[in-house]
Amino acid sequence: MFRPTRKLLFAVEAVLDIAYNGAQLPVQSSEITRRQGIPRRYLEQVLQQLVRERILSGVRGPRGGYRLARERRRVTVGEIVRVVTMMEMPAETADGDDGSSLGRDIVRPLFGELHDRVMAELDSITLDDLCRQAQAAGIAREDDPLEADYTI
């Protein structure tokens, strides 16, 4: 039932890309676009909002880009979901007192509880967990120090 929007998936991918590939230098949005195929129109807007919410930090200048604002073990997927969800808030929600007592007292609380469970699960998953999964899956990092060329 939980069906993430395209923007939400792109946001999680982008932040994971920064966590996974940005060990040494800030990650530029053009690098994320190239690696992940995320359209820039989605990316810049989401990255700026994530900076405002202190999940990312922006680095200015020619070698600038984005970094995690704190250690990847301290950033959860749930935080990213909340930021993007706030950006996408629909104009109309079903929070009012209208509707039947079955809807108000049974159905809405059911979906509220399910939402809380999903968010609790997402809050338990850190970027570090996802980076470890990517590493275990054999996904190469672009700035992996083991792959660096040390020609003298």
Tens of pLDDT, residues 57-90: 999 988 899 999 999 999 999 999 999 999 887 6
For residue 95, pLDDT beyond 80: no
Q: Confirm if 12 and 78 have CB atoms less than 8 A apart.
A: no
Q: Confirm if 67 and 50 have CB atoms less than 8 A apart.
A: no
Assess if residue 152 is contained within a domain. Answer: no
Name the pTM for this structure.
Answer: 0.85
Looking at residue 73, its pLDDT comes to: 97
Assess if residue 151 is contained within a domain. Answer: no
Assess if residue 149 is contained within a domain. Answer: no
Q: How far is CA 44 from CA 68, 69, 75, 108, in A?
A: 15, 17, 20, 35
Q: Which tokens in the block code for residue 2?
A: 């939980």
Domain that holds residue 43: 6-144
Assess if residue 18 is contained within a domain. Answer: yes
The whole-chain average pLDDT of the chain stands at 88
Assess if residue 82 is contained within a domain. Answer: yes
Number of domains in the chain: 1
The CATH number of the domain holding residue 103 is: 1.10.10.10
Query: Sign of the CA dihedral 92, 78, 30, 44?
Result: positive
